[in-house]
Amino acid sequence: MRWKFLLKPGWLALTLVVFIFAVSCYTLLAPWQFQRHDERATQNAAVQASFTATPEPVSAALPDNQVPDVNTQWQRVLIKGTYLPEAEVIARLRTVQGEPAFEILTPMRTTDGEVVLIDRGYVRPDDRTMVPPYAAPPEGVVGVEARVRIQERDPQERPAFSDESTEGKLHSYAINPQVVGAAGNLDIRPGYFQLENDQPGVLGPLPLPQLDAGPFLSYALQWIAFGTMALLGWLYFTVRELKPGGALAGDEPRPERRKSVAQILAEDEAAEREERANAS
């Protein structure tokens, strides 16, 4: 029975691998890339819209202590208050335009009494990969324009820590207002705010994300194509094995291969030699 080959261990293993790969392409890998494409599109739209939108106070852009999300990130807001340099934290392990950097996080107490976390920008490591000296924030009440950012999360949830290279300054592995607040005994609102260029207290202004779609859509289509190719390949070899003479046909009789001209001539010559030998 030709269908018996489907139960052979080798064919079952091949079928399992092919179908697991195809299902992964359709349900995990392609949707993951589609999601990244949608996130990039949402980000690009938010950044583009922020160029023409009028900056608003934080209370208007994020009312009722709203947590920043993909719909509010990159909005420009106006903040008026006083920097709290004694609670400043340095974010480590950052890259800006492909180069290592430190980002300087300084809480600010607004004129409304709320505390927000301000990302004053970045500084490059010195020749010893240490934090170089950088300008302190201005004293007194200042008004700044910044962009709303979604706070980060350290998977290991490590607290801020001291480093001997920066006496009196704490360090963090993520830009998280809860981590900074716990280190400085401050109640900081969710999210943080990235300073624009030429604002009071800004250091190296952080660049905005590139407004391009990225390769995610093409990657998603490629994963769908790979899954389809795997299934079609499995179907092709299955049909081929159903035909007589398949590689996994087992004990089924195989059609006799057609002899070549050289084989026929060799057999004729051997037969003639045998006849001459018998005659003599």
Q: pLDDT for 61-112, tens place per residue?
A: 999 889 999 889 999 999 999 999 999 999 999 999 999 999 999 999 999 9
Q: Distances in Å between the alpha carbon of 223 and those of 30, 38, 54? A: 5, 17, 41
Distance CA 254, CA 244 (A): 7
Q: pLDDT for 193-252, tens place per residue?
A: 999 999 999 999 999 887 778 889 999 999 999 999 999 999 988 888 777 655 555 545
| Pairing state between β 141-149 and 192-195 | antiparallel
Q: pLDDT for 107-119, tens place per residue?
A: 999 999 999 999 9
* 261 backbone dihedrals φ, ψ, rounded to 5°: -60, -40
Contact of 101 with 108, CB cutoff 8 Å: no
Q: pLDDT for 7-35, tens place per residue?
A: 788 888 989 999 999 999 999 999 999 99
pLDDT of residue 42: 83
More confident residue, 44 or 26: 26
Helix (H, G, I), strand (E, B) or coil at 243: coil
146 DSSP 8-state letter: E
Contact of 47 with 211, CB cutoff 8 Å: yes
pLDDT of residue 247: 52
Alpha-helical runs (H) found in 125-245: 177-184, 216-242
172 DSSP 8-state letter: E
